[in-house]
Amino acid sequence: MKSIEDLGDLQGKRVVIRCDLNVPLDGDTITDDGRIRASLPTLNALREAGAKVVVLAHLGRPKGQVNPKYSLAPAAKRMAELLGVEVKLAEDVVGPSAQALVDGMSAGDVVMLENVRYEPGEESKDEAERQALAEKYAAFGDVFVSDGFGVVHRKQASVYDLAKKLPNAAGKLVKAEIDVLKQLTEEPARPYVVVLGGAKVADKLAVIDNLLKTADTLVIGGGMAYTFLKAKGYEVGTSLLDEEKVEVCKQYLEQATAAGKQILLPVDTVVSPAFPSGEGPFESTVIDSDKLPADQMGLDIGPKTAELFAEAVKGAKTVFWNGPMGVFEVADFSKGTKAVAQALTEVDGLSVVGGGDSAAAVRELGFSDDQFGHISTGGGASLEYLEGKTLPGLDVLG
């Protein structure tokens, strides 16, 4: 896989770069600009090399329709502030506005095209439709740089098909992500602890299957923990539950025991009569996980569990964490996630925060990026890599 240094002299050349700028928004306000910051090293390197930089990116799921709600305008504005240069945003993706802006570029300029997912061909299952759109993207550039790690597990026009049309390379962000993931999968320093949380157990089953072979301890919290607790025969009340996966979770618990691996589950739980909505504080109680009332909902790990999980994390040499321990957005139910994040900052070894909600959580809870070994920008892509899957957006790079 080539790096941007392998592309030769870029002075005056047009570089089409796929970034992941899928940032969370509150109206027009970006609430976490981590993904934009992560794109800066590559963008600065290209500008310093004298390239004309054409940025492709997506935001949300407009599903092939132009929708102002998903405009990249906030991302372009923030990128301009962070780069300290003007970032012109086209009014379309591959139309006359995009063409005019690209035609008018000088060395060091940065132009952003509108949300690539406005185009039906971007996410099309029809290869010919994706290829046709990729041809239009390719017409804007001399070379292609893939730097949107959060989308490399997708076979999409701006990720996969475009890489076939132009000389290509991986950007600094993608290179950094791969280097870290290799450390997690190829002879990680031990003990190796993986912390998994978030809402859906189904999203993590394949990665659990693979990690039971490589990790020493799996720590499971968040909404997905209740399916495992149900598999142990516990009452889980009105907590999140994937009834169809209870049997699979039971098999994983047996598999871990047989292999001498640990799966740590919550020993106590913060419960409430209902999911929090509106302003707090909310009614909550700490209950042992085997005594959860039928009319209560688990919304965070309890204090004993937070201590148990933190000890497991702090004793590791390698830690990968993906998914919060509870409804971290609500202060009353954020303590478990905060305890795990704090423990990661104290790891004597490699600590990796695996993108998505985990990255948003650590920043929202007041931690800075440099307190962790690495904060990934691609939750789904990271998990698929750890599952051992081939990622098409990486596979296609020369």
CA atoms within 13 A on the CB side of 220: 25
Q: Is 14 annotated as a binding residue?
A: no
Residue 92 identity: D
Q: Which residues are within 8 A (CB) of 27 and not within 5 positions of it... i.e. 6 or more apart?
A: none
Q: Is 35 annotated as a binding residue?
A: yes
Q: Is 363 annotated as a binding residue?
A: no
What would the two tokens of residue 206 be?
Answer: 């394949």
- Share above pLDDT 90 across residues of the chain, in percent, rounded to a whole number: 87
Q: Is 20 annotated as a binding residue?
A: yes
How far, in Å, CA of 271 to CA of 170, rounded? 45
Q: Which residues are within 8 A (CB) of 9 and not within 5 positions of it... i.e. 6 or more apart?
A: 49
Closest to 181 measured CA to CA, from 392, 383, 395: 383
How far, rounded to the nearest angstrom, does the alpha carbon of residue 321 sit from its chain's CA centroid?
A: 11
pLDDT digit string (tens) for 100-154? 999 999 999 999 999 999 999 999 999 999 999 999 999 999 999 999 999 999 9
Q: Is 398 annotated as a binding residue?
A: no
CA atoms within 13 A on the CB side of 19: 31
Look at the block and give the residue holding tokens 């509108």. Answer: 114
Q: Which of 115-124, 277-286, 288-297, 311-320 shows the lowest per-residue confidence on average (mean pLDDT)?
A: 277-286
pLDDT digit string (tens) for 183-201? 999 999 999 999 999 988 8
Q: Is 204 annotated as a binding residue?
A: yes
Which tops the pLDDT comparison, 389 or 348? 348
Q: Which structural domains are found in the chain, ordered by start? A: 4-174 (3.40.50.1260), 187-387 (3.40.50.1260)
The confidence score (pLDDT) of residue 201 equals 84
- In this prediction, residue 43 has a pLDDT band, given cuts at 50, 70 and 90, of very high
H or E stretch covering 208: helix 205-214
Q: Is 357 annotated as a binding residue?
A: yes
Catalytic residues: 35, 200, 356, 380
The answer to whether the predicted template modeling score (pTM) of the entire model surpasses 0.85 is yes
H or E stretch covering 81: helix 73-83
What would the two tokens of residue 212 be?
Answer: 């039971």
Closest to 44 measured CA to CA, from 149, 137, 172: 172
Separation in Å, CA 141 to CA 109, 136, 336? 13, 10, 47
